Amino acid sequence: MKRELNVSQDLVERLFARLDDLVDIHLSFLQSLVRAQQCSTDKSIEAFGPLLLQQVRLSSNKFNILFALSSTLALLSNYMLYNLMSSSLIM
């Protein structure tokens, strides 16, 4: 971002002030999704609701719950899109 848009380090740090925490949240949720997929022969996730609730509960200690939920849902949509595109390419 700094190189492509010629943005200062200060602005990048203000825009992404919680980037490390956000990466931790996303990595934790991604690991939960992968574990859930590994338990299924067809890689589907049957009980998604409990995984999402667990992630929000874990994240709420660090952040405002709405921030945690919105970032988790953004990750989920990217994850689902990636899986959809991957399965479409295989077929």
Output the pLDDT for position 2: 73
Q: What's the pLDDT tens digit per position in 31-85? A: 888 888 888 888 888 787 888 778 777 765 555 666 666 767 777 777 777 777 7
The pTM of this model reads 0.55
What does DSSP assign to residue 1?
Answer: -
- Per the CB < 8 A criterion, the answer to whether 26 and 69 are in contact is no
- Output the pLDDT for position 69: 66
Residue 43 Ramachandran class (φ > 0 left, ψ -120 to 50 alpha, else beta):
left
Residue 22 clears pLDDT 80, i.e. is over it? no
Q: Which of 50, 15, 12, 17 is nearest to 32 (CA)?
A: 50
Cα(38)–Cα(17) distance, integer angstroms: 34
| DSSP one-letter string for 12-24 | HHHHTTTHHHHHH
Position 7 confidence tier, pLDDT thresholds 50, 70, 90: confident
